[in-house]
Chain A
Amino acid sequence: MQMNDSQSALHIPLWLTVALVFLLTGRTIIFYKDQSTLSKSNGIRWHELSALSMTEANSQPKLVLYSFTADWSRPCKLMERTTYLNREIISLINQNFFAIKIIDKIDKKTQVTVTDKFALQMENKYDIFNLPQLIVTLPSGKKVDDRSAYLSISSLKDFLGECEIKALYTKGLTYLADGKYSQAAQSFDSWLKQSNANSYYISNGYLYCALAYKMASEDKKAMDILSLALEKCYKIQDDKVTKSIIDFLMGRINEDQLIQQMESEPFNLAKARYFTGMMKLKNGNVKAGKIDFQFILEKHASYSDTDFLANGQLKLIELKSR
């Protein structure tokens, strides 16, 4: 467009100004209407955190989804207004999860965050460091997985789907720790069939599955799983730890050789001692097995699967000795 005088070149189109005024006015009105705190009554059936809801969560079969949020957190509000309003997300959560929401609030007088004592216990238990944070657990309370920060619809869908599969692995661990070996083997087996998780979990899954079969005296199935693991895990990565433990479970190397190979890395040593301990239990040498499990808890001192499993076995041994 070319102008005849320089003044008309300064002209701002009226439609642009009108559009701007309309949009800014609309934005301001919506902004002030939108200042309410986090809603609890959208499509998702959220339960409030209480002793009653916890008992209910423990006694039902669904996975438990904890959503840690705060009314001062913008990402939490964003999730509330976007992701949690999606129909697919709503039906996915309502059908497959027992959903519990924990909301931190700000005291208007002191401007300090107020957290309910019960909620604080949960935050400490699940190591909540960021908001929003989602934790998925088995009904028993054993953590399956967690995710923090704002999650889009597709990310949340992926996360919940992964949790449903990963719950099989966590259930397997729980059964293994409780001495229910056949159920543990079945759980790990179905997890291995469904999962395309990363190689770290896959190699662990094979090892625990084979161990569970061995403990359930299904040696042939255990050997099949170990052969499959050798074929798959060794291809995925140069996983010497898994390879050594497989060799031990297959009887190719003895306990001393396994321990010798793992000694340089405390984490791997603890993992190896769990398998040697379990084999001792299988052979009826409970006392020697107990020493291995105690070693793991004394030296390892972290919240890994190995600690959880060793702890479970120690409790079982104690129960049986009574």
Chain B
Amino acid sequence: MSKAVFIYTFLRLMRPGNFVSLFLWLIALPIYIAWMCCADYHTSFNNANFAMEQVAHFFTGPIIPIVTAMLVVGTTVGNTKSLHNGEYFLLTFTRPLSRFSYVFSKWCAALLAVVSITSCQILCLAISFYVLGHITHYPLGLTDVANLLLNAMAGTALIVFIQCCPIWLGVNLYMVALLCIMFNPYFITGASPRIALTGTEPLWFKILVEIFDKVYPVVQDFLTPFIDIAPFFNSIEVWWLPIFSFLSNFVLYLWLAVLVLNSREFFYANE
């Protein structure tokens, strides 16, 4: 790992331009979500606990970490234009650095920032719920903390990979990934499109539905950096697929990030 790249990436988070979005993301979003859940006429006592649990899962799931990672990593990976011409960094990067070391340092810095930000968000959220919703117990446990760490790890790796891609590809991948995550069956009931078929549709439509039905889950599996480890404890049978899917996705993102950087014209002095 390159310490310079690590420190530089982390410090870039603190630039003044990020303060507004950081404030909104860190404090305003949790308060707003807590307020929305608790302002409901019928929500009090155990309902607030249930809402808190659902929202906490939302924060430890993949959406918040990858959006936060976007804020942290932002334009700092694989730049083709320089934003700062500081001589210190120019000197730091004049000697060749392994692409893997570069990607790994960026990932480490982004992970640290994402975990710090998301932890603060969850703390703000808990305080807001306590003040607004009369929660009687704190619903986050050790598994939620582990989920936060794991999902932040993989989510950040996905963003580092996306940022290494050319802009046109990166933007498209980011949009598809967000779509895949939002329509993940863990979070919503993603019914198969087959349910809508009545049997009278033309053949081409059935084929289209069949292709979508087969291809979309595969794309979704590869672009959803998510795992919930709670089901693996106290289970009568371990389901290995999500473990392998999660780990292979995580390693794949880092591997692809290095591969893409290798194939691009890239030089570190841009940083």
Seen from chain A, the residues whose Cβ lies within 8 Å of a Cβ on chain B are 1-6, 8-13, 16-17, 19-20, 23-24, 26-27, 30-31, 34, 42-43, 70, 72-75, 78, 81-83, 85-88, 90, 106, 110-113, 130-132, 148-150, 152-155, 158, 162, 196-200, 236-237
Contacts and interface: CB of A to CB of B under 8 A. Distances in A.
Nearest to A6: B96
Q: Which 8 A-B pairs have the closest CB atoms?
A: A82-B231, A23-B248, A74-B185, A27-B244, A75-B185, A72-B192, A9-B96, A112-B199
Contact of A113 (B139, B194, B228, B237): B194
Contacts of B45: 196-198
B240 interface: yes
Contacts of A34: 241
Nearest to B50: A158
B55 to A, nearest CB: 12
Interface stretch (B9-17, B106-114, B251-259): B251-259
B241 A27 contact: yes
Contact of A9 (B47, B97, B239): B97
Given A85-B235, A110-B199, A9 B189 contact: no
Task: Give the interface size bracket for B toward A.
Answer: 35 or more
B217 A1 contact: no
Contacts of A23: 244, 247-248, 251
A236 B99 CA distance: 61
Output the residue of B42, B236, B254 with the most chain A CB within 10 A. Answer: B236
B100 A16 contact: yes
B234 A111 contact: no
Given A12-B262, A113-B197, A155-B53, 19 more contacts: A1-B2, A1-B101, A12-B100, A12-B255, A12-B258, A12-B259, A16-B258, A27-B248, A34-B241, A75-B185, A82-B228, A85-B231, A85-B237, A87-B236, A106-B194, A150-B186, A155-B54, A162-B46, A197-B45
A39 B45 CA distance: 37
A74 B190 CA distance: 7
A174 B14 CA distance: 62
A34 B258 CA distance: 32
6 contacts: A12-B258, A111-B194, A112-B199, A152-B57, A196-B45, A199-B42
B234 A88 contact: yes
A111 B244 contact: no
A161 to B, nearest CB: 10
Given A131-B191, A154-B53, A43 B236 contact: yes
A198 B42 contact: yes
A83 B186 contact: no
A130 B206 CA distance: 22
B192 A73 contact: yes
B97 A112 contact: no
Interface in B92-125: 95-101
B75 interface: no
A236 B42 CA distance: 10
Residue of B41, B187, B189, B239 ringed by the most chain A CB atoms within 10 A: B189
Contacts of B189: 73, 75, 130-132, 148-150
A113 B195 contact: yes
A3 B262 CA distance: 14
Contacts of B259: 12
A95 to B, nearest CB: 16
Contacts of B235: 82, 85-87
B245 interface: yes
Contacts of A3: 95-98
Contacts of A9: 96-99
A24 B252 contact: yes
Contacts of A154: 53, 139, 230
Given A5-B96, A31-B241, A237 B41 contact: yes
Nearest to A161: B46
Nearest to A88: B234
